[in-house]
Chain A
C-alpha cells in the first residue's frame, strides 16, 4: 500500500440554525486522529463528510493516495468508513452482504478472502442471516465493511460500541496496526480502551453566540 494523506480545511456544518461545528481543520498522513467530544457535537457528521457521505456547509476535504488527489466519487468508495448509521441487508448472511457490497463496488468477491475478513473480526462461525445478529456481531460486521476494499484511509465512528471485551481488544489492535500503515480517524466519546492517538481533535458543544 502506498502513502495516503487526508486533509480537512475550515469544515463547518449547519442543518438549520447555528453550525454544528465550524472551522475544523487537520492534516493526517499516518497514525491515529481521535475526534472526541460529547454527544451531539457532530462527530458522526464530521466523519460522514470526510467519507463524502455528506456535504460540508463550507470547507474542503482532500484525500491523496500516492500523491494523487481522489475525486469525490473515488473518496466515497475508496475511503473505509463504519458508523452507527451503517446497516446491512437483514435477509442476507454476513458473507452474502460483504460479497454483494464488494461486487457493487466493482470488485470480484472471492469467498476465501471474504471468509478471512469475517474471521479477522470474529464472525467466521456466523452462518445465519444478519437479522438474527446481536448488536456486537453487527458492530463486528461494520468493521469488516470498513476494511472491505483495503482502504488507504480508515474512518471509524464509535468502533467499540456494543463490543465485548474480546472484540474491543481486537479493534484496538487493529486501530494500532492500521495507524502504522496510514491515516485512521476515530470518533469516540471514550478513548480509554483505544491506543493513544497521535492527534486529538476535540469538538466542544457550542453555546449561543460562540464562534
Chain B
C-alpha cells in the first residue's frame, strides 16, 4: 500500500527536484545561456565604461562593489524567476504538486538556483577583477559575502517565483515584488564586498546577511505550501 510515508527523506526529495531542474537546464540550456551571456556582456560593458579605460582607480573606490552586485543580481535575475514559472509554462506543475509538498519543491529549486548563482559568481568575479583591475584584498571575506548574499538571493527569488508563477503578468510582478525584498539584502552585500576588497571582514554587514538569510529561509519554509499549492 503506497499511502504510507515514502522511504526517502526531505533532503533526498529536495535533491531529486534540484537534479531534475539541472538535467532539464543542461539539456535545454535556456537559462544557463541567457544568464552567462548577460554576465559576459555586462562585464564587457562595465569594464569599458568604468574600468581601466574609463574612470581612474581612485574615482571608483566604492563603485566596483556596487557594480559587481548589480552584475550578479541582474545576471541571476534572468534565470532565477524561471524556477516555478517553467513548471506552469510546461504544465508540469500539477503533477509536481500532486506528489511533492511545496516545501520540498521550494528547497530543491532554491538549491538549484543557488548552485546556478555560485557558478555565475565563480566565472564572473575573476573576470570582473581582471577586466576592471579590481583588487580583492580578502578572498575568504569575499567568498563569505558571495555565499550569504547568493543564498538570500536564491531563496527569495525562488519563493517569489512560486508566488507569481500562476499570475498573469508574472514577469512584471516578480520585478515589482522582488525590489523591496532584495534591497535589504543587496545593501549589506555591497558594503561587505567593499570591505572585502580592502582586505577586511565587515562583521556588521555579514551579521545582517546572516539574519536576512535566516529570516528569508524561515519565511519561505513556513509559507511554501501556501505559495505553491492550491
Interface residues of A (CB under 8 A from B): 1-2, 51, 53-55, 65-66, 70, 73-74, 76-78, 81, 85-92, 96, 100-101, 103-108, 129, 145, 149-152
Contact = CB atoms under 8 A, between A and B. Distances in A.
Nearest to A90: B90
A103 B13 contact: yes
Nearest to B93: A87
A129 to B, nearest CB: 8
Contacts of A1: 1
A68 B192 CA distance: 55
A152 B99 contact: no
Nearest to B86: A89
B6 A89 contact: no
B5 to A, nearest CB: 6
B102 to A, nearest CB: 10
B8 A108 contact: yes
A151 B105 CA distance: 22
B95 A103 contact: no
Contact of A103 (B1, B5, B12, B97): B12
B130 interface: no
Contacts of A100: 16, 19-20
Contacts of A54: 230
Contacts of A91: 23-24, 27-28
Contact of B94 (A53, A77, A103, A105): A53
Interface residues of B, number: 32
Given A106-B9, A107-B7, A108-B8, 10 more contacts: A77-B99, A78-B3, A89-B92, A92-B23, A92-B24, A101-B99, A104-B100, A104-B104, A106-B6, A150-B1
B95 A145 contact: yes
Nearest to A87: B91
Contacts of B13: 103-106
The secondary-structure label for the interface of chain B is helix
A87 B95 contact: yes
B18 to A, nearest CB: 11
Per CB-CB distance, the 8 closest pairs between chain A and chain B, nearest first, are: A106-B6, A87-B91, A78-B3, A149-B2, A103-B16, A105-B99, A104-B100, A91-B27
A106 B8 contact: yes
Interface of B: 1-3, 5-9, 12-13, 16-17, 19-20, 23-24, 27-28, 90-92, 94-101, 104-105, 230
Question: Which of A70, A73, A81, A87 lies at the interface centre, i.e. has the most chain B CB atoms within 10 A of its CB?
Answer: A87
Nearest to A105: B99
Given A81-B98, A108-B8, A89 B90 contact: yes
B82 to A, nearest CB: 13
A105 B9 CA distance: 10
A88 B104 CA distance: 19
Nearest to B229: A76
Contacts of A86: 91, 94-95
A81 B7 CA distance: 22
A11 to B, nearest CB: 16
Contacts of B97: 53, 76
Nearest to B10: A106
24 contacts: A1-B1, A2-B1, A51-B98, A86-B91, A86-B94, A88-B92, A89-B20, A89-B24, A90-B90, A91-B24, A101-B96, A103-B16, A104-B20, A104-B96, A104-B105, A105-B100, A106-B5, A108-B7, A145-B95, A149-B99, A150-B2, A151-B3, A152-B1, A152-B2
